[in-house]
């Protein structure tokens, strides 16, 4: 389980250290930084897929994604005694992302390139990566360290260099695969690859989930939901079928679903409701019903990931469905760590009812995102390696 996520200098996240519980609910007013936090988690996950630099480029590059305020917000700036001003930079530009779990921690530093004759002079570079043992970084607990092109692994009291020519745009997580010399790298990579993100399912007339698709066993619903029928059938056959029936009945009393297989092997979703003479197909369902079923398929996955990240799952759901969705998320949180951004009051009420839920409310303070009420004492122990 993850215990801490830490972000520095990413958009409005000047320095956010977030404790992690089994079920994490993130709320906040518009512009408080909820989506920034979600995006920073995705960026962190991209390191293990080899896509962190291109993801950053798609967001407009490091210049745009970098915290636009002063290097530090001092106590005097916060109290309004002195005006916000930039001043001379004390440290290099570093966008930093990291996490800690019970047994291992990881962080990555992204920075600007040193001037060189390259057409890619604006591409951010990976300056440093670090894996350490335990939940909090200490120089003595470092297991693997990457500085620029060089990756070294600690073996007892000695360091072994295991790579010397890393590209500035490749993470050691995606490039180094030496099980013997660096099992920690593989372990960290597998941990991050286990995270699953869901953000805004389409439900318009041409939404992938409305079309029949060839079905194959689908223990994890895809991000666009095109394999909805196959994912539901997988739950029916090898997953928690009673929970699926409960979730449908909870939102639509008396309704049930069935998956049919066409002659060409395409799966088709049938939804029967009391009062109708024939079942409706996915193409005919209301936006809200389709979205709810997508969440059912995502959350009741027979192969729970280590972390499930949900961005505003309430989008275009009827308020009547929100408590049922909240209950479904709570149920899923028994099998996987869940992190969810929401501003739907009815769902928030349902989630905060759980003893495992940690609700964090984000607020802006001089443009920077803070966790409301977080005092120095509640900040999880977190140290960034010295630059
Ligand atoms: N590079 C940046 N530096 C500082 N703040 C930024 C940067 N980019 C965006 N922001 C701020 O982030 C806020 C948007 O945050 P967002 O996560 O979208 O909010 P919401 O909580 O509504 O999802 C905007 O108010 C904007 O001021
Ligand atoms: Mg948002």
Q: Model confidence at 376, in pLDDT bands (50, 70, 90)?
A: confident
Ligand nearest to the CA of 26: 1
Q: The tokens 């790298």 sit on which residue?
A: 185
| Tokens (6 digits) for 364 | 């802006």
pLDDT (tens digit per residue) in 326-375:
999 999 999 999 999 999 999 999 999 999 999 999 999 999 999 999 98
The alpha carbon of 341 and the centre of ligand 2 are apart by a number of angstroms equal to 9
Of ligand 1's atoms, which has the minimum distance to the CA of residue 66? Answer: 1
The helix-helix angle for 322-332 and 287-299 (nearest 10°) equals 10
| Tokens (6 digits) for 178 | 């030496």
Instruction: With beta carbons less than 8 A apart as the criterion, state whether 265 and 338 touch.
Output: no
Ligand 1 pocket, residue 39 CB under 6 Å:
no
Ligand nearest to the CA of 37: 1
Q: Is 60 exposed, middle or buried (0-12, 13-18, 19+ CB in 10 A)?
A: exposed
pLDDT (tens digit per residue) in 276-323:
999 999 999 999 999 999 999 999 999 999 999 999 999 989 999 999
pLDDT at 75: 84
pLDDT (tens digit per residue) in 205-251:
999 999 999 999 999 999 999 999 999 999 999 999 999 999 999 99
User: Does position 88 have pLDDT exceeding 90, yes or no?
Assistant: no
pLDDT at 385: 93
DSSP 320: G
User: Does position 37 have pLDDT exceeding 80, yes or no?
Assistant: yes
Mean pLDDT computed over every residue of the chain:
94
Ligand nearest to the CA of 27: 1
CATH topology of domain 197-361: Rossmann fold (3.40.50)
pTM for this structure?
A: 0.94
All residues with CB under 5 Å from ion ligand 2: 35
Looking at ligand 1, which residue's alpha carbon is closest to its atom 24?
Answer: 31
Q: What is the DSSP string of 208-272?
A: GGGS-EE----SS--TT-TTHHHHHHHHHHHS-HHHHHHHHHHHSTT-EEEEEE-TTSEEEEEEE
Looking at ligand 1, which residue's alpha carbon is closest to its atom 16?
Answer: 33
DSSP H helices, 50-193, are 52-58, 61-65, 75-79, 172-175, 183-193
- Candidates 143, 156, 61, 159; CA nearest to 107 is 143
- Candidates 339, 335, 266; CA nearest to 302 is 335
Ligand 1 pocket, residue 311 CB under 6 Å:
no
Contacts of 371 (CB under 8 A, 6+ apart): 16, 18, 360, 361, 362, 363
Q: Give the domain ranges of the chain.
A: 2-25+34-195+366-371, 197-361
Q: Model confidence at 117, in pLDDT bands (50, 70, 90)?
A: low
Cα gap 163→385, rounded to integer Å: 20
Q: Kindly report the number of other CB atoms within 10 A of residue 151's CB atom.
A: 24
The alpha carbon of 294 and the centre of ligand 2 are apart by a number of angstroms equal to 21
DSSP H helices, the chain, are 34-49, 52-58, 61-65, 75-79, 172-175, 183-193, 228-238, 241-251, 287-299, 322-332, 345-352
Ligand 1 pocket, residue 139 CB under 6 Å:
no
The alpha carbon of 334 and the centre of ligand 1 are apart by a number of angstroms equal to 32
Of ligand 1's atoms, which has the minimum distance to the CA of residue 68? Answer: 3
pLDDT (tens digit per residue) in 156-166:
889 999 999 99
Ligand 1 pocket, residue 11 CB under 6 Å:
yes
Of ligand 1's atoms, which has the minimum distance to the CA of residue 33? Answer: 17
Ligand 1 pocket, residue 33 CB under 6 Å:
yes
Give strand pairing partners of 161.
152
Of ligand 1's atoms, which has the minimum distance to the CA of residue 30? Answer: 22
Q: The tokens 């530009």 sit on which residue?
A: 93
Of ligand 1's atoms, which has the minimum distance to the CA of residue 37? Answer: 17
pLDDT at 387: 82
User: Does position 195 have pLDDT exceeding 90, yes or no?
Assistant: yes
Who has greater pLDDT, 21 or 157? 21
Q: Which of 48-57, 82-91, 145-154: highest mean pLDDT?
A: 145-154
For residue 379, the Cα-to-chain-centroid distance in whole angstroms is 20
User: Does position 86 have pLDDT exceeding 80, yes or no?
Assistant: no
Contacts of 386 (CB under 8 A, 6+ apart): none
| Tokens (6 digits) for 89 | 């930079």
Instruction: With beta carbons less than 8 A apart as the criterion, state whether 332 and 308 touch.
Output: yes
Looking at ligand 1, which residue's alpha carbon is closest to its atom 7?
Answer: 11
- Bin 203: left if φ > 0, else alpha if -120 < ψ < 50, else beta: alpha
Torsion of CA 242, 204, 217, 301, to 10 degrees: -40
Q: Could you give the percent of the chain with pLDDT greater than 90? A: 82
Give strand pairing partners of 214.
266
């Amino acid at each position: 389980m993850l215990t801490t996520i830490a972000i520095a200098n990413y958009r409005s996240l000047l320095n956010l250290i977030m404790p992690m519980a089994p079920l994490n609910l993130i709320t906040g007013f518009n512009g408080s930084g909820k989506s920034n936090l979600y995006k920073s988690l995705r960026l962190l996950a991209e390191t293990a897929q080899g896509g962190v630099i291109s993801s950053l480029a798609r967001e407009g590059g490091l210049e745009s994604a970098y915290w636009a305020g002063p290097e530090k917000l001092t106590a005097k700036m916060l109290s309004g005694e002195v005006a916000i001003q930039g001043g001379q930079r004390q440290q290099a530009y570093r966008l930093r992302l990291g996490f800690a779990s019970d047994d291992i921690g990881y962080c990555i530093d992204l920075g600007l390139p040193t001037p060189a004759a390259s057409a890619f002079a604006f591409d951010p570079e990976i300056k440093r990566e670090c894996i350490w043992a335990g939940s909090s970084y200490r120089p003595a607990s470092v297991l693997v360290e990457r500085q620029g092109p060089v990756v070294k692994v600690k073996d007892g009291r000695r360091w072994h260099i295991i790579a010397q020519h890393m590209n500035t745009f490749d993470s050691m997580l995606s490039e180094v695969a030496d099980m013997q010399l660096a099992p920690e790298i593989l372990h960290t990579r597998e941990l991050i690859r286990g995270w699953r993100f869901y953000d805004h399912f389409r439900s318009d007339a041409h939404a992938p989930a409305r079309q029949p698709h060839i079905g194959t066993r689908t223990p994890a619903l895809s991000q666009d939901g095109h394999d909805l029928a196959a994912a539901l059938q997988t739950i029916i056959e090898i997953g928690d079928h009673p929970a699926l029936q409960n979730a449908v009945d909870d939102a639509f009393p008396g309704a049930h679903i069935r998956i049919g297989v066409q002659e060409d092997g395409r799966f088709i979703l049938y939804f029967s409701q009391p009062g109708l003479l024939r079942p409706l197909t996915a193409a005919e369902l209301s936006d809200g019903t389709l979205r709810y079923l997508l969440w059912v398929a995502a959350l009741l996955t027979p192969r729970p990931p280590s972390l499930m990240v949900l961005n505003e799952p309430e989008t275009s759901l009827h308020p009547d469905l929100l408590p049922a969705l909240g209950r479904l998320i709570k149920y899923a949180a028994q099998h996987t760590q869940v992190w969810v951004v929401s501003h739907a009051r009815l769902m928030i009420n349902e989630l905060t009812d759980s003893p495992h839920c940690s609700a964090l409310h984000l607020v802006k303070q001089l443009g920077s995102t803070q966790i409301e009420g977080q005092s120095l004492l509640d900040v999880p122990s977190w140290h960034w390696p010295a630059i």
